[in-house]
């Protein structure tokens, strides 16, 4: 039956309508033809109509005030949030004091020995050097503060994530409920999580830790569920055939079989926790992130760099050591250092440090970067900012980029009638995805208007669009080059590896040094942050094109340009779409953070709200960020949901 | 292969009757509905959206025999063997192990069945990659709660028995396919099950390794006499290992019999096509070619062969002696075989008044060598269908 009607429709429809894209466009045009005249007749205005906004800031301010007033008296806070808050403060403090008590030598030795046990001698040396470098830069104490926060946040994230993942892995219903939530959480910028926690816990360490947990637990949950669900069916059947109970199956087979995913989840959780722990300096995390934040606020690039380098070192070390633990799984068990040696070794070094009374990093061993870096930045400001013959200066570039690219896009977006923006969103989302994604995208965009932050959101959107355009042009070109030449690939790989592990926040430091503050530097940071993922996904996609298809094209005498255009790019289309999606998500995250270095718009509203204690403004901006993230993700979402984050 | 006759009249280990497994929506209604049950696979799918993997299957597995279920992929044989221990829940029918109803078992009894009475060997081994060979083998004992030292000790014995001594501390990833399947075999053996279930255990192996493993199974069966249910799609393997073979097609058993019966008297054209290229002289026994001794002299002289010797063995004996061979069972002469009768078996033409599979005319040209004498009288008397 179905087949007959389908063919009949196909035969009777005009040629254009046989393409699904054309059918979707026609349907959308019909809807628009009815709704747009109605909308313009009632609310004729370029920007989002006043009549359709709901002022959320009043009630939000009320809620915020109520929470601040009742924080010390309401039972919910007294008996729940209060305990959570105290527990977090006490554990972070305890870990911090323990790290200080072990002393710099003890911590370095412990880290090195753990790395040795897990990942071998080379990474152990690297780890030790990284920790010593933190001390040398005079950042030992902030590093320990960040580390203490990380230890607590990662532990909590792993526990929460693993439990959620276990639930989703074992129960289909939980999986259906959790999956869309986790998927969405993964595309939201870190900044969106800050305000709600601050609302409840106030600015301070508990808020920072909890925001980090909320941000870092999803990858653990997703990968745990993925690992439990992806286990080899025949192994599980064999295990069942031996008469195992469900519990035995879980403990002796399913969890061990998911070890690779669990370790990957741990790795991603640690990296996201570090990223967030640094950003959470805005809400009182302290430590390295706070140093960067303070330094950026006063445009002190030297101080920012001195704190930024330890962040990068920490990120690289944590990533490589946990990554190596996962990579070693499939290989032959080689004789490894026993854990006992690790503990004893670290204890001996710590005791030696204690006996020689050298717990604190000696002041004489600090090499200050601040002066020379600031001198270099000063020189750059004087010589490179502007007036360089022919090419102009970096500040000139930034200014020109702002005037010629960012301003026209922003003004153009804000000039567009509000309904046409919704229409464009609907069209894009429907063409790439399904009507469901289109509906979500339109509703998210409309919610932004209703919240009354239409114009700042379009400002943010204009920065995102500019940054995405640059990222995609550069990223696709580099990706194609890397896919076609092994040498380029080899050269790029270590660079991409390092760039992909660095927390978002760190990218702001060099762009401020080069371009000063403003919207252009925010865009530049976003491009640099998103570029590695786009390059990597593009190159991988092109390289994974079926070699047989490529070979047959070659055998027909296709030139390499023809091969690229007619075989590789079409076949790599899913990868390219994924690259666009990832590019958009990553760019948005940094454009928002760019609010701290003059990017303005939504990111600035969040920072401003936090700084002024005006939580209502911040919360509205945070909600708009969520909506914007949702909309951008859905608009670039290929129909099939990707299995996991490509970055 | 020698145990069949002695134990034929004991209680069957597995007794399966009217077994159905239907996948799809509302599968329960199909076995009970004669109209739906009679539909072919394609029609059934079109009408109900269901697939009947096993249709009304019944057989007994006798103690000590190697019972082979063979069929092409999609014939339902793997589903069938999983139904035996309810790894796949059957839709209808009865399964009994030593007279005990398997389908009525609760979870605990079913676990006990899987732990102690029936162990399975899988096509893709199903080993735990994070455990050593020894711990993989000991896994079944661990599940039962056997202490660490004891289970390792017992596992080590079985590991040695399947020829893996010295590899105890390797991981599955470090072993070859054949070695991995030996681990799978050892894991099933270590719990000392009453019956071993094999699900196409050697299909994923190279031909030479496969032959080694088949011989390993033959050796184990000879030494221990354990009951085995063996699933395969390889006719050669089925004929080599099976005491009895159930041939499946589209979920049904189309013929059940000894290798000799399957090759000698195919039940229908499907089976006939299946066994067409089998070298008959290696499957058929001299019983098929035997005729009563014509005289006391014939019964008293000439080379001797066992009654279960293959025709090819008898041919060798006859060719060496240059005259008929006697079939001796414990010193008693059952009959004689001569070169003509043996040739008839090889050629697949009727001999001794028995049908050895259809009329000569239906044979493919490749099977009956040109110029072979076909006695007209015998050929006509043997035309009754089997």
A223 neighbors A286 (Cβ within 8 angstroms): no
Using alpha carbons, select from A281, A299, A290, A279 the residue that is nearest to residue A517. A299
Give burial (CB, 10 Å; 0-12/13-18/19+) of A310: buried
Q: Which tops the pLDDT comparison, A544 or B368?
A: A544
Q: Which of A237, A243, A330 sits opposite B143 (nearest CB)?
A: A243
Using alpha carbons, select from A272, A526, A497 the residue that is nearest to residue A401. A526
Mean pLDDT of the B226-239 span: 90
A333 neighbors B171 (Cβ within 8 angstroms): yes
Strands in B244-249's sheet, in edge-to-edge order, are: B118-121, B195-199, B227-232, B66-70, B244-249, B252-257
CA distance B106 to chain A (A): 13
In a domain, A359, yes or no: yes
Asked if residue A482 and residue A346 are part of one domain, the reply reads no
**Integer CA distances (angstroms), A224 to A164, A240, A255, A385, in order:** 8, 21, 9, 49
Residues A188 and A195: their CA atoms lie apart, in Å, by: 13
What sign has the CA pseudo-torsion B91, B94, B98, B104?
positive
B384 neighbors B355 (Cβ within 8 angstroms): yes
In a domain, A314, yes or no: yes
CA distance A174 to chain B (A): 23
Separate counts of helices (H) and strands (E) for chain A = 32, 0
Using alpha carbons, select from A292, A175, A159, A169 the residue that is nearest to residue A213. A159
Bridge partners, residue B248, by sequence: B253
Asked if residue A482 and residue A593 are part of one domain, the reply reads yes
Asked if residue A469 and residue A593 are part of one domain, the reply reads yes
Asked if residue A177 and residue A126 are part of one domain, the reply reads yes
- pLDDT for residue B154: 92
User: Please, what is the end-to-end C-alpha distance for chain A in angstroms?
Assistant: 45
Q: Containing domain of residue A495, as a range?
A: 54-60+385-547+583-645
Residues in chain A with CB shorter than 8 Å from the CB of B120 are 238, 241
A563 neighbors A554 (Cβ within 8 angstroms): yes
B147 neighbors B104 (Cβ within 8 angstroms): no
Using alpha carbons, select from A52, A264, A56 the residue that is nearest to residue A165. A264
| B81: closest chain A residue by CA | A241
Separate counts of helices (H) and strands (E) for chain B = 18, 13
In a domain, A24, yes or no: no
Q: Which tops the pLDDT comparison, A70 or B172?
A: B172
Q: What SS3 class is residue B174?
A: helix
Residues A171 and A161: their CA atoms lie apart, in Å, by: 15
Q: Which of B87, B116, B171 sits opposite A237 (nearest CB)?
A: B87
Residues B383 and A191: their CA atoms lie apart, in Å, by: 88
* DSSP annotation of B374: -
Q: Which tops the pLDDT comparison, A66 or B127?
A: B127
Residues in chain A with CB shorter than 8 Å from the CB of B122 are 234, 237-238, 241
Which of A598-607, B54-63, B370-379 shows the lowest mean pLDDT across its residues? B370-379
Mean pLDDT of the B199-217 span: 87
Asked if residue A106 and residue A169 are part of one domain, the reply reads yes
Q: Which tops the pLDDT comparison, B313 or A53?
A: B313
Burial call B313-337: b when 16+ CB within 10 Å, e when fewer: bbbebbeeeeebbbbbeeeebbbbb
A607 neighbors A456 (Cβ within 8 angstroms): no
B65 neighbors B13 (Cβ within 8 angstroms): no
B159 neighbors B204 (Cβ within 8 angstroms): no
Please give the torsion angle defined by the CA atoms of residues A176, A182, A188 and A194, in that order, rounded to the nearest 10 degrees: 130
Asked if residue A473 and residue A355 are part of one domain, the reply reads no
Q: Which of residues A331, A366, A401 is at a domain's end? A: A366
Tokens 């254009």 belong to: A16
The DSSP element (H or E) to which B121 belongs, if any, is strand B118-121
Going by pLDDT thresholds of 50, 70 and 90, the confidence category of residue B381 is very low
Tokens 């699933």 belong to: B231
The DSSP element (H or E) to which B193 belongs, if any, is none
Alpha carbon A424 to chain centroid distance?
26
Cβ-proximal residues to A344 (8 Å cutoff; 6+ apart), any chain: none
Bridge partners, residue B232, by sequence: B70
Taking an 8 Å cut-off on Cβ atoms, the answer to whether B143 and A257 are in contact is no
Burial call B191-229: b when 16+ CB within 10 Å, e when fewer: bebbbbbbbbbbebbeeebbeebbebbeebbeeeebbbb
Q: Which of A234, A242, A333 sits opposite B140 (nearest CB)?
A: A242
Residues in chain A with CB shorter than 8 Å from the CB of B126 are 232, 234-235, 237-239
pLDDT in tens, A587-601: 888 888 887 777 778
Here the CATH number for the domain that contains residue A312 is 1.10.3720.10
Burial call A602-615: b when 16+ CB within 10 Å, e when fewer: bbbbbbebbeeebb
* DSSP annotation of B310: B
Q: Which of residues A366, A394, A425 is at a domain's end? A: A366
CA distance B140 to chain A (A): 6
Cβ-proximal residues to A402 (8 Å cutoff; 6+ apart), any chain: A518, A519, A520
Residues A602 and A323: their CA atoms lie apart, in Å, by: 35
In a domain, A25, yes or no: no
Asked if residue A391 and residue A359 are part of one domain, the reply reads no
- pLDDT for residue A646: 37
A124 neighbors A303 (Cβ within 8 angstroms): no
The tokens describing A120, both together, are: 């071998």
Instruction: Flag whether residue A50 sits within 8 Å of chain B, measured between CB atoms.
Output: no
Asked if residue A441 and residue A338 are part of one domain, the reply reads no
In a domain, A22, yes or no: no
Asked if residue A347 and residue A250 are part of one domain, the reply reads yes
Cβ-proximal residues to A323 (8 Å cutoff; 6+ apart), any chain: A267
Mean pLDDT of the B63-83 span: 89
Residues of chain A below pLDDT 50: 1-13, 641-647
- Percent with pLDDT over 90 in chain B: 18
Here the CATH number for the domain that contains residue A493 is 1.10.3720
In a domain, A350, yes or no: yes
The tokens describing B372, both together, are: 């072979």
* DSSP annotation of A546: -
B17 neighbors B94 (Cβ within 8 angstroms): yes
- pLDDT for residue B133: 92
Asked if residue A350 and residue A266 are part of one domain, the reply reads yes
What sign has the CA pseudo-torsion A268, A274, A278, A284?
positive
3-state secondary structure B210-272: HHHHHHHHHHHHHHHCCEEEEEECCHHHHHHHCCEEEEEECCEEEEEECHHHHHHCCCCHHHH
CA distance A499 to chain B (A): 33
Give the residue numbers in B contacting A (CB under 8 Å), as ranges.
Answer: 82, 85, 87, 110-116, 119-120, 122-130, 139-140, 142-144, 171, 173-174, 184, 187, 191, 197
B338 neighbors B324 (Cβ within 8 angstroms): yes
The tokens describing B314, both together, are: 């008898």
CA-based max dimension of chain A: 91
A413 neighbors A600 (Cβ within 8 angstroms): no
DSSP assignment string, A295-321: HHHTT-HHHHHHHHHHHHHHHHHHHHH
Give the number of domains in chain A: 2
Residues B99 and B63: their CA atoms lie apart, in Å, by: 12
The tokens describing B110, both together, are: 């079913």
Taking an 8 Å cut-off on Cβ atoms, the answer to whether A256 and B142 are in contact is no
Q: Which of B111, B116, B130 sits opposite A256 (nearest CB)?
A: B130
- A243 phi, psi to nearest 5 deg: 90, 35
Q: What SS3 class is residue B199?
A: strand
- pLDDT for residue B374: 36
Asked if residue A615 and residue A526 are part of one domain, the reply reads yes
Residues B32 and A333: their CA atoms lie apart, in Å, by: 55
Using alpha carbons, select from A224, A312, A328 the residue that is nearest to residue A268. A224
Residues A433 and A437: their CA atoms lie apart, in Å, by: 6
Taking an 8 Å cut-off on Cβ atoms, the answer to whether A238 and B123 are in contact is no
Work out the angle between the directed axes of helices A205-229 and A172-187 (0-180°, nearest 10). 130
- pLDDT for residue B137: 92
In a domain, A106, yes or no: yes
Cβ-proximal residues to A535 (8 Å cutoff; 6+ apart), any chain: A475, A478, A479, A482, A492, A496
Asked if residue A604 and residue A462 are part of one domain, the reply reads yes
- pLDDT for residue A44: 65
In a domain, A325, yes or no: yes
DSSP assignment string, A147-172: HHHHHHHHHHHHHHHHHHHHHHHH-H
Chain A, 219 to 258: residues with Cβ < 8 Å from chain B are: 232, 234-235, 237-245, 248, 252-253, 256-257
Taking an 8 Å cut-off on Cβ atoms, the answer to whether B114 and A252 are in contact is no
């Amino acid at each position: 039956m179905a087949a007959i009607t389908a063919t009949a429709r196909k035969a009777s429809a005009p040629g254009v309508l046989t393409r699904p894209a054309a059918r979707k466009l026609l349907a959308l045009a019909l809807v628009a033809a009815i709704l747009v005249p109605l909308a313009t007749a009632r609310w004729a205005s370029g920007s989002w109509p006043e009549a359709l906004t709901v002022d959320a800031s009043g009630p939000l301010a009320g809620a915020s005030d109520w929470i601040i007033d009742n924080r010390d008296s309401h039972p919910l806070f007294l008996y729940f949030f209060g305990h959570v808050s105290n527990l977090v403060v006490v554990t972070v403090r305890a870990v911090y004091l323990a790290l200080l008590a072990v002393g710099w030598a003890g911590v370095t030795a412990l880290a090195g020995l753990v790395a040795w046990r897990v990942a071998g001698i080379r990474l152990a040396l690297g780890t030790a050097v990284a920790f010593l470098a933190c001390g040398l830069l005079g950042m030992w104490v902030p590093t320990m503060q960040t580390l203490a926060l990380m230890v607590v946040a990662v532990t909590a994230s792993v526990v929460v994530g693993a439990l959620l993942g276990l639930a989703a892995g074992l129960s289909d219903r939980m999986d259906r409920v959790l999956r869309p939530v986790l998927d969405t959480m993964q595309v939201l910028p870190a900044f969106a999580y800050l305000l709600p926690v601050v609302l409840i816990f106030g600015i301070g360490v508990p808020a920072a830790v909890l925001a980090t947990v909320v941000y870092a637990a999803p990858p653990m949950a997703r990968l745990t569920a993925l690992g439990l669900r992806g286990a080899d069916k025949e192994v599980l059947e064999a295990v069942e055939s031996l008469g195992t109970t469900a519990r035995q199956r879980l403990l002796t087979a399913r969890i061990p079989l998911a070890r690779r995913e669990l370790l990957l989840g741990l790795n991603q959780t640690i990296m996201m926790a570090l990223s967030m722990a640094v950003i959470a300096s805005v809400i009182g995390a302290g430590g390295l992130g706070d140093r960067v934040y303070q330094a950026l606020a006063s445009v002190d690039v030297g101080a920012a760099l001195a704190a930024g380098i330890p962040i990068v070192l920490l990120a690289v070390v944590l990533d490589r050591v946990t990554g190596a633990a996962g990579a070693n799984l499939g290989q032959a068990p080689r004789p490894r250092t026993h854990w006992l040696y690790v503990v004893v070794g670290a204890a001996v070094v710590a005791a030696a440090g204690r006996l020689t009374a050298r717990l604190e990093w000696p002041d004489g061993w600090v090499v200050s970067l601040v002066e020379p870096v600031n001198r270099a930045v000063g020189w750059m400001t004087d010589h490179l900012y502007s007036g360089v013959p022919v090419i102009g200066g970096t500040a000139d570039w930034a200014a020109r980029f702002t005037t010629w690219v960012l301003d026209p896009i922003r003004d153009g977006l804000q000039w567009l009638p509000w309904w046409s923006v919704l229409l464009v969103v609907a069209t894009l989302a429907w063409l790439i995805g399904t009507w469901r994604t289109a509906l979500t995208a339109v509703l998210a965009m409309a919610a932004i208007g209703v919240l009354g932050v239409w114009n700042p959101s379009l400002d943010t959107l204009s920065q995102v669009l500019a940054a995405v355009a640059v990222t995609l042009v550069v990223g696709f070109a580099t990706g194609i080059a890397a896919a076609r030449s092994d040498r380029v690939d080899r050269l790029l790989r270590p660079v991409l590896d390092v760039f992909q592990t660095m927390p978002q926040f760190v990218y702001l430091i060099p762009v401020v040094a080069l371009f000063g503050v403003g919207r252009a530097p925010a865009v530049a940071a976003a491009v640099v942050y998103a570029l590695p993922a786009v390059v990597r996904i593009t190159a991988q996609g092109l390289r994974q094109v079926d070699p047989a298809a490529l070979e047959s094209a070659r055998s027909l005498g296709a030139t390499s340009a023809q091969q690229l255009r007619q075989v590789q790019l079409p076949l790599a289309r899913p990868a390219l779409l994924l690259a666009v999606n990832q590019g958009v998500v990553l760019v948005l995250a940094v454009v928002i953070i760019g609010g701290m270095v003059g990017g303005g718009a939504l990111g600035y509203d969040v920072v401003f709200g936090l700084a002024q204690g005006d939580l209502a403004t911040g919360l509205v901006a945070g909600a708009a960020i969520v909506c914007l993230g949702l909309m951008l993700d859905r608009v670039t979402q290929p129909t099939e949901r990707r299995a996991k984050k490509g970055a | 292969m020698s145990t069949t006759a002695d134990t034929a009249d004991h209680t069957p280990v597995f007794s399966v009757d009217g077994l159905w497994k239907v996948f799809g929506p509302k599968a329960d209604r199909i076995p009970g509905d004669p109209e739906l049950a009679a539909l072919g696979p394609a029609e059934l799918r079109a009408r109900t959206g269901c697939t009947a993997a096993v249709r009304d299957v019944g057989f007994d597995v006798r103690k000590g025999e190697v019972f082979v279920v063979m069929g092409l992929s999609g014939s339902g044989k793997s589903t069938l063997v999983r139904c035996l221990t309810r790894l796949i829940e059957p839709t209808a029918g009865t399964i009994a192990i030593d007279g005990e109803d398997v389908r009525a078992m609760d979870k605990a009894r079913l676990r006990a069945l899987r732990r102690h009475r029936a162990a399975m060997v899988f096509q893709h081994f199903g080993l735990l990659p994070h455990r050593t060979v020894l711990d993989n083998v000991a896994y079944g004992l661990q599940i039962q709660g056997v202490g660490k030292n004891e289970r390792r000790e017992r596992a080590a014995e079985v590991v040695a028995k399947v020829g893996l001594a010295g590899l105890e501390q390797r991981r599955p990833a470090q072993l070859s396919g054949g070695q991995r399947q030996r681990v799978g075999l050892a894991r099933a053996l270590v719990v000392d099950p009453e019956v071993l279930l094999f699900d196409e255990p050697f299909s994923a192996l190279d031909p030479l390794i496969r032959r080694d493993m088949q011989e390993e199974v033959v050796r184990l069966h000879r030494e221990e006499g354990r009951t085995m249910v063996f699933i395969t799609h390889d006719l050669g393997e089925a004929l080599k290992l099976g005491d009895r073979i159930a041939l499946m097609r589209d979920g049904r058993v189309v013929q059940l019999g000894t290798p000799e019966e399957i090759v000698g008297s195919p039940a229908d054209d499907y089976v006939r096509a299946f066994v067409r290229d089998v070298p008959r002289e290696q499957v058929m026994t001299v019983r098929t070619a035997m005729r009563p001794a014509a005289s006391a002299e014939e019964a008293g002289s000439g080379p001797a062969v066992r009654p279960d010797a293959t025709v090819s063995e008898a041919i060798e004996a006859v060719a060496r002696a240059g005259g008929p061979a006697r079939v001796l069972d414990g010193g008693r002469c059952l009959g004689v075989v001569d070169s003509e009768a043996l040739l008839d078996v090889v050629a697949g033409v009727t001999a001794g008044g028995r049908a050895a599979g259809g009329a000569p005319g239906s044979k493919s040209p490749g099977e009956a060598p040109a110029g072979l004498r076909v006695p007209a009288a015998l050929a006509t008397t043997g035309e009754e269908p089997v």
